[in-house]
Structure 1
Amino acid sequence: MGFNAEDNAFIEWYPRGYGVGFKVKRRLFETQTQYQRLEIYETEGFGKLLVLDGTVQLVEVGEESYHEVLVHPVMLAHPKPSRVLVIGGGDGGTLREVLKHGEVERAVMVEIDEGVVEASYLYLDVAKDLLERLIKKEEPRAELIIGDGVKYLKETGERFDVIIVDSTDPVGPAKLLFSEDFYRDAYEKLNDPGLYITQAGSVYLFTSELIDAYRAMKKVFDRVYYFSFPVIGYASPWSFLVGVKGDVDFRKVDLERAKGLKLYYYDPERHETLFQMPKYVRELLESGE
């Protein structure tokens, strides 16, 4: 797994010998942060590539295929998403999409690894201007907190309309973000109505992790939805889970509010297409209900 200098390629290997790779021109930066190994590459056709502990996090060309789908479906399904919490998301892409919604009065981003924020600001053209304002504390609607999202959620006195978890896969520092205890803390800190969303891994290759997370969320939230989307750079289709507190129908979004958004990948007018899931995966997910 990783950079192959001989072939000028970066390949992330998934289970059973499946890989996702990019041709690269050079490695721009690498470091060992307090939490993980961080690398940034310049690819041949997709801009710069961010890698954490050998796993692809994003490429600049097409990163919206992840960030838009993580953010806008829940924001448009909530009747008034004025207070938003983002856990993780140190590259700034998720918060950038959140702030496209004029209803947002306050957004908090809690990122455990300051090194991700710094490297993203210095090297990536994803949310550079936003990260600069956050670092300088000049963004009036948003705050950056460097800290443990699990601890923050447990201890904060704030309540949120939408909680978005933009994390790495459920290993290392992100493992607790997929626990039933964490889901219970999230449910408690949601307003009523409230929506919670997390990425949940590759539909085909991380199916058991998706099922485990879905069943844990079912024990906590009033309703849980699953959906998938093809994300550039990931072993797609990629899965997402949405937890509901109160009376919100995630199958419906506000198309009037959506008109003011400039989107490339997520299509609010075709929101129902998110819910297509391979038959055997859907049956596995629903077998424990």
Structure 2
Amino acid sequence: MTEWFSETLHPHWRQSFAADRVLLREQTAHQDLVILENQTFGRVMVLDGMVQLTERDEFVYHEMIAHVPLFGHGAARRVLIIGGGDGGTLREVLRHKTVERATMVEIDATVVEMARDHMPMVSDGAFDDPRAELIIADGIAFVAGAHQPYDVIIIDSTDPFGPAEGLFTPAFYGACRQLLTPGGVLVVQAGVPFLQPREIAHVNAALSAAFPEVAFYAIAVPTYVGGLMTLGWASEDAGKKVPDPAVLAARVAASGLAFGYYSPEGHAGAFALPPHIRAAARG
């Protein structure tokens, strides 16, 4: 009989996956980790009962969390990723040949190890790129003690529970701002506003306490149920959000990259939020 896994993120609504095969169940030092196979979505990673990514639709999230800040910035050489143990964000960052160093700080070594073993298609060799630096450490402590500046910082975290809770505070965002080069960009995940309106409002307040320019953009990831997901964007330079269309198109063309979700038009359009999301962000 097929085993079914039900995500427990939302108290009154759940999505379920048929687990055609359970590849891994492990209690790591920080969280409960499950990797399963599903006929529709391929391999699925679950942390503490919450779906983190699936093989089939991970490209949406990883492309948009990486390419919006990188193409928006236009000249990023050093990138810091907090979290992202599956390696998908690292993969997309390193597709930019102009990136000289990508430092990824992940608290849970087991997530990295098991993702490489059971979902290698996600990182696609990114961990072996000589420009990649993997540090197993607490992201908050790393940022507090770091001195090397970064052009882009990406907070690729789980929802604000457990190990990730401290990554959603004004103090942490303020510490990130201190690490950014002039005109640097910070991007964070901010949940699904239709079901998590308090999360985007909290992120908005925390980012606004640390940065003069804050915005949100929306993406559609099928397994992040409940409508559009949002990502938070922050910088001292509002111009790094959506460059002139001709400039942005030229940057993308010069990169020679092809995408499954990201495009220059989609980059700009993602910031055109529906009224209900704008209202949720205001709290």
Could you state the TM-score of these two structures normalised by the residue count of structure 1? Answer: 0.91
Q: 1:231 matched to which residue of 2?
A: 221
Question: Pairwise mapping of residues 1-289 of structure 1 onto structure 2 (< 5 A)?
Answer: 8-15=3-10, 17-124=12-119, 125-131=121-127, 133=128, 139-235=129-225, 236-246=227-237, 248-252=239-243, 254-259=248-253, 260-286=256-282
**Cα separation, 2, equivalents of 1:233 and 1:94:** 17
Q: CA deviation at 1:16?
A: 5.1
Q: CA deviation at 1:168?
A: 0.4
Q: CA deviation at 1:258?
A: 1.2
Unaligned runs of 5+ in 1: 1-5, 134-138
CA contact (8 A) 1:14 1:205 kept: no
CA contact (8 A) 1:65 1:232 kept: no
Unaligned runs of 5+ in 2: none
Q: CA deviation at 1:7?
A: 5.1
CA contact (8 A) 1:190 1:245 kept: no
CA contact (8 A) 1:120 1:128 kept: no
What is the SS of the residue equivalent to 2:190?
A: strand
CA contact (8 A) 1:71 1:97 kept: yes
**Cα separation, 2, equivalents of 1:168 and 1:121:** 18
Amino acid at match of 1:257: R
What is the SS of the residue equivalent to 1:205?
A: coil
CA contact (8 A) 1:224 1:241 kept: yes
What is the SS of the residue equivalent to 1:19?
A: coil
**Cα separation, 1, equivalents of 2:12 and 2:75:** 44
What is the SS of the residue equivalent to 2:112?
A: helix
Structure 1 segments of 4 or more deviating over 4 A? Answer: none
Q: Deviations over 1:209-240 (max 9, x none)?
A: 11011011111112001111111311231111
**Cα separation, 2, equivalents of 1:270 and 1:61:** 20
Q: CA deviation at 1:74?
A: 0.6
CA contact (8 A) 1:203 1:228 kept: no
CA contact (8 A) 1:88 1:167 kept: yes
Q: CA deviation at 1:261?
A: 1.4
What is the SS of the residue equivalent to 2:135?
A: strand
